[in-house]
Structure 1
């Protein structure tokens, strides 16, 4: 494509058409001048494709906090390449990832989507991820620019942050990735930054991004994140997503008519859209093709490697790990053991091609060594009742799934009444489809030519329990309706349903009911009836509603804990898999506290008392409180592990993989210790503003300044894995020229009897700065693989950025002449080697 020639062929109406998307996942096409519609898909840990509902399955990689904890640049690049291959299989030209927002608080709903609290680690891993994607022709979309660090009031909240903190902490990962990887697309944030929405913030988009950093890629909005016409176009927002447009189209024509915009303003934005189209054409990725999944042995191995390499060994005081061949009986306990927690919730969530739960992974590995495994849940941890996906079959058919039927008008007079005659005949449905799930977000996948958004829905399936007893069912949806089991009403949400938190607070609260005496293996007819009118009228997005059905066999909480205690007592080792799930950590809301759910802490304490050989596995995307941690000898942090979370865990437990990950986030003792405590979430907002009071002291920088010991420090991994390492021979130049470029060289030796990998971290301290600076800042890292007894030299190149800070008095970066400390560490709290280097002259710069 010749950009200027194509632009010259477009009339004004065609140009304006290109400024907004075509539906959820495509840009507009102009066939008359051979401009195709390019396709986008959600990331960052998988390629969902063009459907929320009934989508084509995809691989789910570990949560970004886990990938960040791997400190493995090459692994990030390989994951980017694998995601690109899946995008190509789905005919997708643009992946909406990676996320590099800064997790200010453990309570942030989307914290699991970012790589780290540290901007250098965050930006470096993102750069490798982007390079992997774009090497294969798929555009990355780095997001959300900028300071989109909480979900509370996320469309309107103003992140009020100082210029220095904005530059050093929040913009820095974007800056690193743009300099090193040049992402072809960038997504703006929902929120305001210092009072102005990011999507129309001229300082951010024009002054910093375009002019100072010379960014050449496309700038798109987050979905529904455009709040103006003239301001967003003038500031530099190229593409409004999704379509149909809300803030462009006719509004642009009116702004041009009134002289607020000129045709040249439109041309500038359209050029960037055409450039992205040109990338898509050059990539060779097909247009308008059926979506496919990829599932190969090579991909499964990468998923398994990523799952294992994202696990951090936090404690191993009694050397229980790796498990020895003498372990013959294993108790697997916990709410996160039987179900694979692949990711957090929201746009990161997708339908996995397959999953391996911790229980499945442990059972497979145990069988290989002749060990026996027994399981019990011990305690529930669900916020909403667990989905019934594995318990449903098509009614009157022995195949998995359910049928959804749609009507534009009520199919019977009493369809929605609690006392409806459910056996009465219904009129013929307008359209129907099948699904495998009990959680249906009906944003797409419905025949819009047949079905109105305001419609009547019947969801019908057969529920087949795997355990006899009393079962509790819970349901929520968009609109009004009722749930029936074997033609009996069990949940009434047709009369004044209470609003809940899901789908922007527009879905109903989950309402629960208990059905007694169900028998394992028996088929029970389950039917849900809904009218979407109330929901659709309030929805900010065009859709056909949503529905979710969950259920679990009832059990007494204390009795379940006692069952777990007895099982642990009678086993050589207990593996206790606890944590959060996508109901607790998700886009759309922030957590209320750091606590583990419900009776989880009671379960952990009881099992630890019953069996000192207990391995606690915390499965979450961000930090949780661990009041029992002093009593536990062995603790693993397993960030959401994707498809292979179970096998990845088993590989660590038996030592097939020597753990090498180190925390990309500081784990605090309590929420009150966090740097932004009192200035986060609903309780921290003041008249629609959040004050970033901690300034540059985010994460470990704050704990070190306050001399406050966290639960586990940033960059930490217990005892450097199952291996031990020795650092020596640090060499740095004694003085630096005004260029500021230098190398740090040292040696690492594996002093253990087994192969291992070590993450060496390079921190810089500036004790004589004219402005306050953190005690130390991560400026580089290197992951090295070592055989038993092997020694390798490590060289890390640094430059003026490692020495500099942002001087908001002069609005520039400054590295002041004088002495700096170079600290070589195995974590932020464990410095191994020190040296000094002197910068002879002050360096001042702007830009990348």
Structure 2
């Protein structure tokens, strides 16, 4: 098994072989492209085979009920249909390559705060209509071989022990016969309760609740032999099915990095970008004119979020590099502001023996020992080191590591350095202690919430002079600090970084001066894997400090400015009213910088659509009053009114609505026809899509169902189908979207415990966004029907 929401890490977390990294889940959601999801599955299938993985732990299809979720970037959408359809096609692509998928995380794993203990209190209706529905759709379309249970509780039971969800719903109602596996290492909480509920496999790492404990449970009749046999059969079934791939056990892990894969990654990156605003047709920019590139994300490859979805990518491209590769009129850069939460990693800026990287040495003896026996030495360039699965035959229970390399600054000045650890650590420059992170450690978000806050120190350095940087680290057991409610993954980790200190006001002033000297400006801003990561939720929608100030002042200096924001979930944009052009570029994977440049200069016409509603401010979102857990519980008080369903019901105007996304050309919809034959559950919605502009481009036709006078309160309308089509300028294409009238008009009737399609009139609303102008027609269902399969 290998993590795989947006790439195949392989069997190792520490020292992993480089892989293809796709754009993040919300970026894939923004493509609204089912066929592309299949191609993504094909690519990941080949990558899995190269890494010796039979089962991919993905896709992730939890629901972003609010904008602050630490893992919100991993999932596709706030909408269950879009999530389920894309996931089903992703899984289909994997299966066509002989690789199995483990759909995750079943269910309501929608926050990181107290994720292992929190009790999600939710109505059966919301559970069915919003949170289980994407799993139901993906299971029907993709037939995943496995599902991963979530860490959390749902209505008083951990999902790994939840017989109603695992057996009654997924196995019996949905007729799914795959394997249930718990989340990594700590996702199982009992022996007999989990086995009897239907949990087939405790995530290896090793088992904590099975083995001798299970033998005892069977001998005490807490678990019947027949029940145990069912669990074993499920495991053997997955083993047999996975063996058909022909991947040998302990296969060597290889790199592919094929040109065709690079092209696909670049295509996905570009097609995921959403053009939020383009007043006066500021974009696309001319590649022949001088351009200023400004901002904290310009020289950083923000290619993925943090946590288990992070990858050691084959290569990455920054926005600045992508722009420089296409621009022929000259490119100037200004930092403007920093966007890091922790100081930028230093690994790639270090050298050892004249070569890139730093030496990492392993010992059983502490640094105070005069004769330390070296276990091994590796050369790395990643200074965020998580020893989750590190092993050595001579490794003792308590062990140590030492990182050493040489840093040669390009500029003279004061440099800030930082060190965070799960364990203990000290950072030295030329043998002088600069940072100590040993005593009085402060809990922080690092290492999936088990690490410390970053401790910092500063030193004045001279340009072109080399300085020896050393980090002495002790494993997690050398520290007495533990963070309640977080996953402790064992060995621990260390992260060190640093950069030149800048004066915020002076940096912004320099950026403004540059902006005034050019005809076109692009600002690259956003978040990154430290802000959005497994283990910790965000506390606000704000961009990093000084970013909004930078953007506002540059916009005032040069209105011919495009703002590019990279984040996996919504951010506040207080300057949006003054910006003529805004692009949302997510976390773009290996080719993210090139994808940004392709759209910026019009090599690719943007076609992405928002899979999430972007609120104007945090307090506007439906979970504002009840997002984090309190007293061990979280109340899903918004019920079925998640995302755009809430904004439409309350008539609250978001900053940018669900499904929104502009193009460099224009489109029109016409000639809506609804075909529903008597006695037939299949409704065919047809319309004509015309490219009325001067550029070829793709548009997404979105079909919503709006119940008229429903018997219970329901969302105003809900997405029930979509189709993406490419159209040449001046041309028209006919678009068909099929609607299942039984399923797509239904709500969950709690009193009967069944789905209900109520007799009545339903408007069919067709557009290119959830908001704005739509075509509309109506159909009538003549009979109320209840169903469960």
Q: Does residue 163 in structure 1 map to residue 124 in structure 2? A: yes
Distance 1:92 1:99, change over 3 A: same
Q: Could you state the TM-score of these two structures normalised by the residue count of structure 1?
A: 0.91
Match of 2:332 in 1: 374
Match of 1:65 in 2: 26
Match of 2:396 in 1: 452
Aligned with residue 784 of structure 1, among 725, 730, 738: 725
Q: Supply the distance in 2 between the matched residues of 1:615 and 1:802 (Cα, whole angstroms).
A: 40
Q: Does residue 432 in structure 1 map to residue 394 in structure 2? A: no
Match of 2:692 in 1: 751
Match of 1:213 in 2: 174
Task: Mark the runs of 5 or more structure 2 residues left unpaired by the alignment.
Answer: none
Match of 2:780 in 1: 838
Match of 1:717 in 2: 661
SS in 2 for 1:778: strand
Contact 1:311 1:639 in 2 (8 A): yes
SS in 2 for 1:830: coil
Q: Supply the distance in 1 between the matched residues of 2:255 and 2:39 (Cα, whole angstroms).
A: 18
Distance 1:254 1:536, change over 3 A: farther
Counting only pairs closer than 5 Å after superposition, residues 179-198 of structure 1 correspond to structure 2 as 179-198=140-159
* Cα offset, 1:517, TM superposition: 2.8
Task: Indicate the larger mover: 526-535 or 563-572.
Answer: 526-535
Q: Supply the distance in 2 between the matched residues of 1:163 and 1:197 (Cα, whole angstroms).
A: 16
Q: Supply the distance in 2 between the matched residues of 1:690 and 1:506 (Cα, whole angstroms).
A: 22
Q: Supply the distance in 1 between the matched residues of 2:450 and 2:244 (Cα, whole angstroms).
A: 42
Counting only pairs closer than 5 Å after superposition, residues 791-806 of structure 1 correspond to structure 2 as 791-799=732-740, 800-806=742-748
Contact 1:483 1:529 in 2 (8 A): yes
* Cα offset, 1:504, TM superposition: 4.9
* Deviations 1:321-342, CA, capped at 9 Å, x for gaps: 11136x5211100111101100
Contact 1:740 1:839 in 2 (8 A): no
* Cα offset, 1:262, TM superposition: 1.5
* Cα offset, 1:723, TM superposition: 1.1
Distance 1:671 1:538, change over 3 A: closer
Q: Does residue 632 in structure 1 map to residue 588 in structure 2? A: no
Match of 2:114 in 1: 153
Counting only pairs closer than 5 Å after superposition, residues 642-721 of structure 1 correspond to structure 2 as 642-681=589-628, 685-718=629-662, 721=663
Match of 1:352 in 2: 313
* Cα offset, 1:542, TM superposition: 5.6
* Deviations 1:704-746, CA, capped at 9 Å, x for gaps: 000000000000013xx0111111111113x654542221111
Counting only pairs closer than 5 Å after superposition, residues 306-317 of structure 1 correspond to structure 2 as 306-317=268-279
Contact 1:486 1:525 in 2 (8 A): yes
Match of 1:812 in 2: 754
Q: Does residue 608 in structure 1 map to residue 555 in structure 2? A: yes
Aligned with residue 404 of structure 1, among 354, 360, 385: 360
Match of 1:416 in 2: none
Contact 1:736 1:838 in 2 (8 A): no
Q: Supply the distance in 2 between the matched residues of 1:304 and 1:536 (Cα, whole angstroms).
A: 46
Contact 1:736 1:839 in 2 (8 A): no
Q: Supply the distance in 2 between the matched residues of 1:495 and 1:585 (Cα, whole angstroms).
A: 28
* Deviations 1:567-616, CA, capped at 9 Å, x for gaps: 11101111000000000000001000100111000000010001000000
Q: Supply the distance in 2 between the matched residues of 1:470 and 1:657 (Cα, whole angstroms).
A: 42
Aligned with residue 383 of structure 1, among 317, 324, 341: 341
Match of 1:495 in 2: 439
Task: Indicate the larger mover: 453-462 or 71-80.
Answer: 453-462
* Cα offset, 1:307, TM superposition: 0.5
Contact 1:568 1:610 in 2 (8 A): yes
* Cα offset, 1:687, TM superposition: 2.3
Aligned with residue 467 of structure 1, among 411, 414, 432: 411
Aligned with residue 393 of structure 1, among 351, 355, 358: 351
SS in 2 for 1:79: helix
SS in 1 for 2:434: strand
Match of 1:726 in 2: 668
* Cα offset, 1:661, TM superposition: 0.7
* Deviations 1:418-440, CA, capped at 9 Å, x for gaps: xxxxxxx5433233333221111
Aligned with residue 282 of structure 2, among 302, 317, 320: 320
Q: Supply the distance in 2 between the matched residues of 1:843 and 1:288 (Cα, whole angstroms).
A: 52
Task: Indicate the larger mover: 533-542 or 106-115.
Answer: 533-542
* Cα offset, 1:411, TM superposition: 4.8
Match of 1:31 in 2: none
Match of 1:231 in 2: 193
Counting only pairs closer than 5 Å after superposition, residues 763-774 of structure 1 correspond to structure 2 as 763-774=704-715
Match of 1:553 in 2: 500
Task: Mark the runs of 5 or more structure 1 residues left unpaired by the alignment.
Answer: 1-39, 414-424
Q: Supply the distance in 1 between the matched residues of 2:90 and 2:171 (Cα, whole angstroms).
A: 22
Q: Supply the distance in 1 between the matched residues of 2:445 and 2:85 (Cα, whole angstroms).
A: 35
Q: Supply the distance in 1 between the matched residues of 2:396 and 2:207 (Cα, whole angstroms).
A: 19
Contact 2:343 2:497 in 1 (8 A): yes
Contact 2:386 2:447 in 1 (8 A): no
Match of 2:259 in 1: 297
Q: Does residue 267 in structure 1 map to residue 210 in structure 2? A: no
Contact 1:403 1:434 in 2 (8 A): yes
When the two chains are superposed, the root-mean-square deviation of aligned CA atoms in Å is 1.4
* Cα offset, 1:401, TM superposition: 1.7
Counting only pairs closer than 5 Å after superposition, residues 275-290 of structure 1 correspond to structure 2 as 275-290=237-252
